[in-house]
Amino acid sequence: MSIVWTLDRLFESPAAIVAREREKVAARRREEDGGEADPPTFVCRLCGYEWQHRGYCPICLAETMQPAPARDRDRGRGRGRG
């Protein structure tokens, strides 16, 4: 802690202090959750190729891409496991 931080807390409005603390807590929660969400992935219906672009599959050269099924965050608790 520095003198600047102490003086800033002393002369700043209580509402601004509360708002800043809320922003810090929200940022901490985002970091704990893994930051930003992963970009959506698409899977080819024919060959199973996964890619982040919708439209044509680069392997089959056909418009066969569909949204990939959602994956579980816990890898040990996925579907099909007992």
77 within a domain of the structure (yes/no): no
13 within a domain of the structure (yes/no): yes
78 within a domain of the structure (yes/no): no
**Is 13 found in the same domain as 28?**
yes
**Is 25 found in the same domain as 11?**
yes
79 within a domain of the structure (yes/no): no
Per-residue pLDDT of the chain (82 residues; tens, 9 = 90+): 678 878 777 887 777 777 888 888 888 887 776 656 667 889 999 999 988 888 888 888 888 899 988 764 444 444 444 3
Angle at 60 between CA 57 and CA 63, to 5 degrees: 50
Domain count, the chain: 2
Q: Using H for helix, E for strand and C for coil, what is the string for 17-79?
A: HHHHHHHHHHHHHHHHCCCCCCCCCEEECCCCCEECCCCCCCCCCCCCEEECCCCCCCHHHCC
pTM exceeds cut of 0.85: no
Tell me which residue range forms the domain holding 58.
38-72
